[in-house]
Chains A and B, each alone.
Chain A
Amino acid sequence: MAMEVTQVLLNAQAVDGTVRKQAEENLKQFQEQNLPSFLFSLAGELSNDDKPVESRKLAGLILKNALDAKEQHRKLELVQRWLSLDPSVKTQIKACLLKTLSSPALDARSTASQVVAKVAGIELPHKQWPELIGSLLSNIHQLPANTRQATLETLGYICEEVSPDAVEQDHVNKILTAVVQGMNSSESNNDVRLAATRALYNALGFAQANFSNDMERDYIMRVVCEATLSPELRIRQAAFECLVAISSTYYEKLAPYIHDIFNITAKAVKEDEEPVALQAIEFWSSICDEEIDILEEYGGDFTGDSDVPCFYFVKQALPVLVPMLLETLLKQDEDQDQDEGAWNIAMAGGTCLGLVARTVGDDVVPLVMPFIEENITKPDWRQREAATYAFGSILEGPSPDKLIPLVNIALNFMLTALMNDPNNHVKDTTAWTLGRMFEFLHGSALETPIITQANIQQIINVLLQSMKDVPNVAEKACGALYFLAQGYEDAGSSSSPLTPFFQEIVQALLTVTHREDAGESRLRTAAYETLNEVVRCSTDETASMVLQLIPVIMMELHQTLEAQKLSSDEREKQNELQGLLCGCLQVIIQKLGSSEQSRYVFMQYADQMMALFLRVFASRSATAHEEAMLAIGALAYATGADFVKYMPEFYRYLEMGLQNFEDYQVCAITVGVVGDICRALEDKILPYCDGIMTQLLKDLSSNQLHRSVKPPIFSCFGDIALAIGENFEKYLIYAMPMLQSAAELSAHISGADDDMLEYTNSLRNGILEAYSGIFQGFKGSSKTQLLMPFAPHVLQFLDSLYMEKDMDDAVSKTAIGVLGDLADTLGSNAGPLIQQSVSSKDFLSECLSSDDHLIRESAEWAKLAISRAISF
């Protein structure tokens, strides 16, 4: 029943487009006519050593793609399809695959490894293919190195594909034994050793039990450390990758080995080739990540509890670690600042130094300062840049007390360097360092300002001047200005020190956006982002200047919409620009809309702005849509009920946004905008509610839509109900069952991880906001009795949330508020029900004495409403 596919597979890779197209068509036909036979033919092709390697490889790839897809629902379809295939065909295919692992052709073996792992990924969780691991392990001791290499690779892929609980501990032990043996220096074949080392990387997640056993852990660590000394670069690199993975997965087990690891990494950083040295630095960056997390948990929770204790590895290694990192800073590449994708040892070392500073704080400063002092004035640009970079790196972490005196000295030097240093690289890093000074050491929270009346003029002059420099330097200057403005965000009074420079700054930023070379080094984006921040942090004094910005930005947006006959590349750039301009308008709308006086003046532009936003929807760019949608939301809020005049035209884009499953961010933002519009229009939104509710209900039922959009959709039900009141009646039969089943699902989640708990809490919050809106929406209407049948369930939901004890503060606040809303709307009818609920007693009294004033406020409300409901 196998088909002859060799020629078609070869044709499918032909240079000639028509031949290729024809072949692809044929393959598609085969697949549609007889899938089992098609898959079997591909497996046969892959396993046949007489066939050309090109057709074998493609056969394997097509097979792999028939088993897995990126998109979640497509993936599920493929899994179901494979599971329902005739078992005898599957057995034959699997036999072919395993056989291929012994093929002399590397490409065939390697492709087969991946396909085996995909099949295992489907079958092992269903307790199928139980003999797989056993038969793979029996290969390990076979003589041909080919087979051993392919088998180890396959085991690695399987570990990547399958979750640890799908493999029994006995098999895990055997896999690890085989893998670690394969890594051992006694293995003479480098390909085998490399495959084993890479396999261990994936298998580490399976090794929990083994890492808890001292002897086994010692053995694994010894072998990994030995592999970092292999003569073969790829093996050393893979071994360091294992160490990096171990540093985050088994941080708490590292103490006995950390000294040896430091020596190994230091040697690699100093002497080894870059790919290896980068991994060695990454080990320390990763240790920093771990310790920063742990210390944050210490600091965040006054009980000082953390699941994992901090071993202060970084602090202990500091005297040797810092000099090692400083040395890397001198190994810059010539053009690294112009190359977006660049990553080298100097960049990695500087990044690690920044993490070290965040981990240990003040202790890093005395170790770095001598290096800076020695190098910052040297004739060699590398030394000046390294010194500047070192300074910039340690500005986050140490205390302001320690840093501010240094910054006060350095600031002037840096400003001069930014103007006068002959080297672009040095200027780039200098501007970045200034940005870091402003980001971490400038703002109302700090007692002694580094920016004063005396130097602000000079700082701004230098930055504006520097914005005319080459794109990468100008971009950093914009970034520095961004943080300079941000520092005045909560100046509190209506007078900002930036006011005298406002016009000049805005003008300079607009000039940057028009530079010919603004497309390089994301300069244009940086300029708009800085403009946004300057507007956000502006005060009433400059409101009129912000207002003048509107026609300017609108004109720019208009021009992008008028551009004709663009290449796809140009169009992409145009869309990006539209996104930036919409973003800028959004920030302005939000700024001016928040003050009564400026709102009235800027509303004169509302019609024109809306017309432009609607035109942006004609583009196909998700980012541009998202930005336009955000801007419209802000406009709706500022406009209020008058927004209704835009609805006839806007509605279809709203619906389009709600249907955009693929770009779920667009969908999420559109859901938020529906809320804005509800609050702006109140009951005038009624004519659009059928359409909106239909779409929202569809979204909720879809398994294609990203789950993060679902909580906001529930909240949106509440927004709609609050806006249209008892008119929500007709949606109750759809919305309530959905809310109920979601509530049941979210009430109990045992053994969920942090992510799941966080998501569940956001879901609970959405559901509760929906209930709140619905109850409040119906209040005072003649139809409150329609909600009576749902009361027992809502109260039950609140009770079970209370019993579970795993809700966060936001949920507590919303939940206790819902109790009040229910009592308020249903009144004495619900009195007995409320009195029976745990929520009305223990939960309420807990909330009444909460430390969180928002929770207390909601609880006060609930208490008041309940006392009314039961006093009848």
Chain B
Amino acid sequence: MAPHDLRRPFKRAAISDQQRRRELSLQRQAQHRRDAQHQARCLASFLNPHSDPEPEPEPETTSETEPEPSDSPKELDIRHASKLKGAEARKWFARQLMLPEWMIDVPDQLPKDWYVFARPAGKRCFVVSSNGTTVSRLRNGSMLHHFPSALPSGARTKDSSGSAQSYSILDCIFHESDQTYYVIDMVCWREYSLYDCTAEFRFFWLSSKLAETGACDPPSQYHRYRFSPVPVYNCDQAGLSAAYTGAVPYVKDGLLFYNKHAHYQTGNTPLALVWKDENCSQYVIDTDSKGQVPSQQQVVLELQDNGNLSTSDDPPVVFGCLDRAFIEQTESRSGNLLRFAIGDGGLNFVDGKLEKADLHYLGKPNRARAFADSYSKVMFQYMARHSPLRIDDLLASINSLSDQENKPSDVEMVG
């Protein structure tokens, strides 16, 4: 039995660089495996939104168009989406935003079921942070910015907390003058999908998570734009007043109303509403491309196979019909968007339903337009020009409710 070797490493690092390379590779692979898993999992929530309970029907919504939940992007998942380029990416992202209807009627139960907040003026966009970078896409799907941010996986930093490829999606408005993204909703956070969560939960999550990341910090090398939450109020008298008159660091563009129980639903929804007047928005009445308010209200409608002109709602609301000769003359095809002015004949209603519209063809809209106008938008604009819904109407609706609450409530029979 020979004496045992007792030499110890002398003036040497404990592990070789090769071993280090090996370990770093293994870490990288494990990380990527986790990311792939996360993405596969997250895809679930994109694929199966139908498995959730239907959003609670809005009681007595007078909206003529009870839009069905719009089609969710079944065939495309986020993993593909993140690789899509150009037109395809635009097409996909264009369908992802939840689009509020315009408030043409005051919903019941404002104080109980709704939030209100002042909408920042600016470009509505989706902000996706993943894989070490952040991309914002406008409502029509086109890219606004491509930048590093402090959002999770929003920049290539050495910070290895959390997975590098995890992604988050925020619903934002980019406010030009202070170069800030105001976050109005949270759709996906660290690959945890919030599509199926109520607005109540989403706002809670948004307020608790966003600040943690440092995304609300002033811009720095790895964080080009500041993010900021917006103050959200319960839509009672005080809340509505605060949203309407309260000071905010951004220019207001109307008020947004979100139903607390509604899930994030892509496309138009009556469970989120936008309302404006001159006090809280510069753009109550649509302007034309030169920034002038045209003398006549303009609408963009989509041409259907049968020549009908319809809104972007689902199901569409028909505003009129074109004859074949006119279609051929303007070289229009089914699916094209066309711009019209509403003539002095205005809109005519019978029993609350649109009967006839006095449309005058103007031409084709700007190519950036992805959608026809929604029914509620046309209506809101129409009302704004004729008999607007005023803040007092909203406050009155709330007051009448609080009066009711003081009375013994009736038992609702369900049979």
Contacts and interface: CB of A to CB of B under 8 A. Distances in A.
A633 B29 contact: yes
Interface in A581-618: 583, 586-587, 590, 594-596
A285 B6 CA distance: 10
Interface stretch (B9-17, B264-272, B294-302, B334-342): B9-17
A634 B8 contact: no
A275 B3 contact: yes
B3 A238 contact: yes
A776 B40 contact: yes
B179 to A, nearest CB: 20
Interface string B1-27: 101101110110100111001101110
Contact of A594 (B1, B8, B25, B132): B132
Contacts of A583: 17-18, 21
Given A238-B3, A630-B22, A492 B17 contact: no
B18 A202 contact: no
A627 B18 CA distance: 8
Interface string B185-208: 000001011001000000000000
A817 interface: yes
B289 interface: no
Contacts of A492: 157-159
Nearest to B44: A824
B33 A715 contact: yes
Nearest to B156: A595
B44 A779 contact: yes
A579 B133 CA distance: 33
B1 A861 contact: no
A532 B21 contact: yes
A198 B1 CA distance: 7
Contacts of B53: 871
A202 B1 CA distance: 10
Contacts of B29: 633, 672, 675-676
A385 interface: no
B6 A637 contact: no
Nearest to B4: A241
B48 interface: yes
A218 to B, nearest CB: 26
A772 B29 CA distance: 16
A820 B41 contact: yes
Interface residues of B, number: 46
A630 B25 contact: yes
A533 interface: yes
Nearest to A528: B17
Contacts of A579: 18
B132 A494 contact: no
Contacts of B13: 479, 482
Interface string A440-455: 0000000000000000
Nearest to A769: B33
Contacts of B364: none
Nearest to B19: A665
A270 interface: no
B3 A634 contact: no
A153 interface: yes
Interface in A480-496: 482, 489-490, 492-495
Nearest to B12: A479
A646 interface: no
B224 interface: no
Contacts of A596: 132-133, 156
Nearest to B26: A672
A587 B21 CA distance: 8
B51 A153 contact: no
A179 interface: no
Interface string B21-53: 110111011001100110011011101100111
Consensus secondary structure, chain A interface: helix
Given A202-B1, A343-B7, A679 B158 contact: no
B158 A490 contact: yes
Interface residues of A, number: 84
A872 interface: yes
A164 to B, nearest CB: 18
B36 A679 contact: yes
A332 B4 CA distance: 22
Contact of B51 (A198, A773, A868): A868
A261 B25 CA distance: 46
Contact of B33 (A351, A665, A719): A719
A529 B37 contact: no
Contacts of A421: none
Chain A CB count within 10 A is highest, among B17, B24, B36, B45, for B17
B221 interface: yes
Nearest to B16: A529
Nearest to A630: B25
A586 B24 CA distance: 11
Contact of B41 (A428, A429, A432, A824): A824
B6 A279 contact: yes
A857 interface: yes
A824 B40 CA distance: 10
B3 A529 contact: no
A247 interface: no
Contact of A779 (B4, B18, B40): B40
B25 A282 contact: no
Contacts of A772: 37
Contacts of B16: 529
Contacts of B196: 864
A330 interface: no
A762 B45 CA distance: 30
A476 B10 CA distance: 12
Chain A CB count within 10 A is highest, among B6, B45, B51, for B6
Contacts of A820: 41
A773 B222 contact: no
A639 interface: no
16 contacts: A241-B3, A429-B11, A489-B158, A490-B158, A590-B28, A596-B132, A596-B133, A627-B18, A633-B25, A672-B29, A722-B40, A769-B37, A776-B41, A779-B44, A779-B47, A868-B52
Given A492-B157, A630-B22, A665-B22, 15 more contacts: A278-B6, A351-B8, A428-B11, A482-B13, A525-B17, A533-B17, A596-B156, A626-B22, A627-B18, A634-B25, A779-B40, A821-B41, A857-B190, A864-B196, A872-B51
The 5 closest A-B pairs by CB, nearest first: A529-B17, A776-B40, A198-B1, A343-B7, A282-B6
